[in-house]
Chain A
Amino acid sequence: MRSSCFRTTITEMDVDWDHEPASTSTIPRDLLAMMAENATPVVAASNPPRHRTRPVRKWRWAPFTNAARSDNLQLYHWTDTDADKADEEPYPYAAFNTTSQAYSYSQDEYDRMLQDAAWSKDETDYLVNLIHEFDVRWPVIWDRYEWRSGRTLEDLKARYFDICRKLIQSRISSDESSTGQLLQAYQFDKGEMACLYLQTQSNAILPTEREMMRKRYINSLFARTPEQVKEEEELYIEAKRIEHDERKWRSERDELVRTVAMPRNDKRKTLGGADLSSSTTSTDEQHLPHKRTAKNAAFDAQNYITRPSSSSSLKSSSSTIPPFSRATKLAQKITPQRIKDYLHGMGLSDKLAYPTATNVAKYDGVKDATAQLLEIRRAHEKVAADLRAAKGLSNGTPGPTDSQTAATATPASDRNTPASTPATPATPAPDNSMNMSTDSIDGNDPNKRRKL
């Protein structure tokens, strides 16, 4: 009796897992499952599972007509709708019979506003027919377009969208804003002007003028050979590397400048690198000990302390300073290397044999004039280069233009690179020691000198 009760429970559970029956509450379900695994197969004899009984839908092989067709073609399909209802219900797939609503025009509209010198009426009709036929699928339309060879897809689009815009404007619309939106949607410019525009202006193109440019870019991208792709990748990596090196170089240079800048604050008062050490020591000690002495002077006087000169005690004594000519100590403007080079070229030394006050003043005048001269010459070269570039552009041949702009761009960018910053007179003094060395290298380069 007990086993039969057990059997019933399992059967119930088999059928209805969701509601745990009260009778099994003493045995956990997973334990029951383990038992059931070894137990003899349970036959659901007493309580067969009850399925939901629902009337089976009746399917018929029934005729139907399609509202999307112009004729009454009667085809047959399987359907579960009743025979009497079937006539009332439209064919569900007829709803998919939609179009992209391509524009068309009347003869009158064409005569009034759609005429175009490049397009005959017949060809326009042919185009619009194709657009209707292929539901504005442009690649297909262009493929099937056989009226006249040589029409590009952009020609076709420009013509059609032009027609659309004119039709939208002329047709009466109840809603002003929707007309505007439509016009916006049919904005199209195949962008013949954009090419020129892009070359003269730097980067601003109107969004509508992009079509031709875009096509050109796509084509040139597509036409790359494997070598070009490889080269491009290599160049990209190279550019990244250079960029990285540049950053690194800059940061190192800044670091260097920071460490060098302090001692060289008033180096411009000294003349050359020769007495750098002596001047630095003197400048260092001019500030710190003076402050200290100012503070402590009273204290020292009170306590009869005699302090030795800080310069002699802390740093080199005067005996370590090499002998020098006083003329080299003369306060003199620092002369940029390019001016020195230029003067050298003219046979002038940068050291005066008799640096009297008048001579020095005159010599300074000469140097100022030279600086101005060089400045003017550089400005002149820049203008001339720009002029050349502009002429190249107006000639319209992109090939030489590019090379020309590239050629002119090189010196311009050179001028901006840190290596040649000393060339500009506004160079901050701290850079000088380093710049002098680079400049002297540059000075040996005849090209560089000519450029300057």
Chain B
Amino acid sequence: MVIYGAAYSIRLLDEVSAIVVSAGTSTLSAGYAGEDTPKLVIPTQYTHKGNDAYFGDNGVDVYRDGFDVDNTMSDSLINDFDRFTQLLEHSLTHLLRADTQQHPLLFTEPAWNTHKHREKIAEIAFEKFNVPGFYIANDSVLSAFAAGKSTALIIDIGAESTSVTPIVDGFVLRKGVLRNNVGGTQVTNHYLNSLEQTQRDNLLKNLIPHQLIDSKTSCEPGQAPNFSLRQDIHPTESWLNYSKSKILKDWREATSAILESTWDEHKVYQRSPKSYEFPNGFSDSYQVARFKANEILIHPNTFQSQPSTNTFEPASISPSSQKSLPDLIRESIQAAESDSRTQLLSNIILVGGVSATPGLSERIQNDVFSLFSSNRVKVHTPANPVERKFSSWLGGSILGSLGTFHQLWISQDEWKEFGKPIVNMRCK
């Protein structure tokens, strides 16, 4: 049998209009294979009250009285299969408006997905959506494909975790898959902790979702904002937390950066501060903290002592006693077979939502080079931020449109004949 491999060219494409779905901890992206960006990108969170549930952009981002927010995913795995099925239905049927019976479905999964989870997803695809074909591929492998490589070391920094996955010839080397629980959420927490007391208090005080604001007028940076709150809105706590963390995420993405070399406070003072305007009109500028925030990605253990001031985000695992990113990379490389190591080191690919942080790829390049100075180290980052964020979806889009791939789909017939075990037989 053919196993999908490195070489693909435009002539190898044969589109069968497969749908590619890639779900992470915080976003779900879906679209047709062969396209270069996902057709839809929606949060995996949903609001619900009793049996009523709303998904997508019109779900969590719209204020509904008494509605709570929950996530269908946690740690890149599906948390709540019933709700996830609803989310999928919303995406495919309502947003993509696709007749799922005509489109094969390609799913992505993290390397730590369990057999049970994959079987369950396959079951949903076949039983609920009646797809003609189904396949589940590793998201790191797909990220490598998106970068045009079949052998690569994928560093995926997502919302809740950082993972390092060696890929050789299009296969995950399972012994080398390592991760820690430091991701975007932890960076945001650390960012808050790194602020000075008054600045932090100001920020937290002015952290008000735009849905709650009735009117606002412009004001000077650092000054108290002029705004008035809507009086008719009484949000639930979970909704408020979700909305606040969304603002914080945006704040972090807009302002934070990392030094290209090791942490040096003097260098930070030479950089310009960045300002950010919050939804209520309050604006402030940030300098040292915005660089310090991302240091937690590299050295999670040096910044463990502070208590979390961020009370409205889900109690995240403490970053202490986590392996640092250079450690993860080193161990992962050492777990790989000695012949593949040099190739892995020269094909490090940085993907995931947090990877767009300015300076991060240079920093990782420096850190990895100091670990393996006897080797050629090259960190590749997709230049396009969309490609970084949705690299696994993009890889899926490429894979799903390859002419040679179509023999790998698990068909409806095969599902009926072999049942659940076929998923693990076929998708290696």
Task: Please give the residue numbers on chain A whose beta carbons come within 8 Å of chain B beta carbons, in ascending order.
Answer: 66, 68-69, 71-78, 91-94, 96-99, 133-135, 137-140, 142-144, 153, 215, 218-219, 221-222, 224, 226, 228-229
Q: Within residues 373 to 398 of chain B, which ones have a CB less than 8 A from any CB in chain A?
A: 373-375
Can you list 29 A-B pairs with a CB-CB distance of less than 8 A? A68-B2, A68-B407, A71-B411, A71-B414, A72-B413, A73-B406, A73-B412, A74-B132, A75-B133, A75-B406, A76-B17, A78-B15, A93-B14, A93-B402, A93-B406, A97-B404, A99-B2, A134-B3, A134-B171, A140-B169, A140-B171, A142-B337, A143-B168, A143-B171, A153-B337, A218-B339, A222-B338, A224-B374, A229-B373
Closest residue of B by beta carbon distance from A218? B338
Residue of B nearest to A145 (CB): B175
Closest to B3 in A: A135
Please pick, from B171, B338, B414, the residue contacting A137 in the complex, using a CB distance under 8 A.
B171
Complex interface: chain A residues within 8 A of B169 (CB): 137, 139-140
B415 → A minimal CB distance (Å)? 10
Instruction: Tell me which residues across on chain A come within 8 A of B124, comparing CB atoms.
Output: none
Which residues from chain A contact B133 at a C-beta distance below 8 Å? 73, 75
Whole-angstrom CA separation of A29 from B173 in the bound complex: 66
Residues of the A chain whose Cβ atoms lie less than 8 Å from the Cβ of B342: 222
Which residue numbers of B lie inside 8 Å of A, CB to CB? Answer: 1-3, 12, 14-17, 102, 104, 132-133, 168-169, 171, 173-176, 336-342, 370, 372-375, 402-404, 406-407, 409, 411-414, 428
Distance A142 CA – B166 CA, assembled complex (angstroms):
14
Q: In whole angstroms, what is the CA distance A133 to B403 when docked? A: 21
* CA gap between A306 and B278 in the complex, in Å: 122
Tell me if B413 and A71 are in contact (CB < 8 A): yes
B174, B374, B406, B428: the one contacting A222 at CB < 8 Å is: B374
Contacts of A66 in B (CB 8 A): 406-407
A77 is contacted by which of B15, B171, B412 (Cβ under 8 Å)?
Answer: B15
* Given A75-B104, A78-B15, A140-B169, A94 and B341 contact (CB-CB distance below 8 Å): no
B168 touches A140 (CB 8 A): yes
A69 to chain B, nearest CB (A): 5
Q: Which residues of B are found within 8 Å of A75, using beta-carbon distances?
A: 16, 104, 132-133, 406, 409
B173 contacts A143, C-beta separation under 8 Å:
yes
Q: Is the CB of A226 within 8 A of B370?
A: yes
> Which chain B positions have C-beta within 8 A of A138?
337
Nearest 6 CB-CB pairs, A to B?
A93-B403, A73-B411, A68-B407, A139-B337, A143-B173, A75-B16
Q: A93-B403, A229-B374 are in contact. List 4 more A-B contacts (CB 8 A).
A: A93-B12, A93-B14, A96-B403, A219-B338
- What distance in Å separates the Cβ of A62 from its nearest Cβ neighbour in chain B? 11
Residues of chain A within 8 A of B168, CB atoms compared = 137, 139-140, 143
CA distance A72 to B17 in the complex (A): 18
Cβ contact within 8 Å between B14 and A77: yes
A122–B16 alpha-carbon span in the complex (Å): 41
Determine whether the beta carbon of B407 is less than 8 Å from that of A69.
yes
Nearest chain-A residue to B175 (Cβ)?
A: A143
Instruction: From A215, A228, A229, give the contact of B338 (CB < 8 A).
Output: A215
A140 to B166 CA separation, bound complex (whole angstroms): 11
Instruction: Report the nearest A residue to B173, measured CB to CB.
Output: A143
List of A residues within 8 angstroms of B338 by Cβ:
215, 218-219, 222
How far in angstroms is the closest Cβ of chain B from A198?
A: 19
- Cβ distance B356 to chain A, nearest Cβ, rounded Å: 30
Assess the A97–B407 pair: CB atoms within 8 A: yes
- Bound complex: CA of A215 vs CA of B1, how far in Å? 31
Chain A residues whose CB sits within 8 angstroms of the CB of B176 once the complex forms:
143
Contact call A98/B2, Cβ cutoff below 8 A: yes
CB-CB nearest in chain A for B102: A76
Alpha-carbon gap, A93 to B405, bound state (A): 9
Q: How far is the CA of A77 from the CA of B402 in the complex (A)?
A: 12
With A140-B173, A153-B337, A226-B373 already in contact, the answer to whether A73 and B3 are too (CB < 8 A) is no
Closest partner residue, chain B, to A95 (CB atom): B404
| CA–CA, A134 and B337, complex, Å | 16
Residues of A with C-beta under 8 A to B341: 218, 222
- CB pair A96 B404 closer than 8 Å: yes
Residues of chain A within 8 A of B370, CB atoms compared? 226
**B-side contacts of A91, CB under 8 Å:** 403
Alpha-carbon gap, A138 to B133, bound state (A): 30
Q: How far is the CA of A97 from the CA of B406 in the complex (A)?
A: 11
- Tell me which residues across on chain B come within 8 A of A98, comparing CB atoms: 2
List residues of chain A with CB within 8 A of the CB of B339: 139, 215, 218
Shortest C-beta distance, B47 to chain A (Å), equals 37
| In contact, B16 and A139 (Cβ under 8 angstroms) | no
In the assembled complex, how far is the CB of residue B126 from the closest CB belonging to chain A, in whole angstroms?
13
Q: For residue A77, which residues in chain B have a CB less than 8 angstroms away from its CB?
A: 14-17
Of all chain A residues, the one with the shortest Cβ separation from B12 is: A93
Chain B contacts for A215, CB-based, 8 A = 338-339
Q: How far is the CA of A228 from the CA of B402 in the complex (A)?
A: 47
Nearest CB of chain A from residue B411's CB, rounded to whole Å = 4
With A and B bound together, what is the CA distance between A71 and B3 in angstroms? Answer: 17
A219 to B334 Cα, complex, angstroms: 10
**Alpha-carbon distance between A75 and B401 when the two chains are bound, in angstroms:** 12
Which residues does chain B contribute within 8 Å of A219, judged by CB atoms?
A: 338
What residues of chain B lie closer than 8 Å to A134, measured between beta carbons?
3, 171, 428
A367 to B325, CA, bound (A): 75
Contact A139 B404 (CB under 8 A): no
B2 and A76 within 8 A (CB): no
CA distance A215 to B409 in the complex (A): 38
Residues of B within 8 A of A93 (CB): 12, 14, 402-404, 406-407
- Residue on A nearest B17 in the bound complex, by CB: A76
Nearest CB in chain B to that of A68: its residue: B407
Q: Residue on A with the closest CB to B18?
A: A75
> How far in angstroms is the closest Cβ of chain B from A71?
5
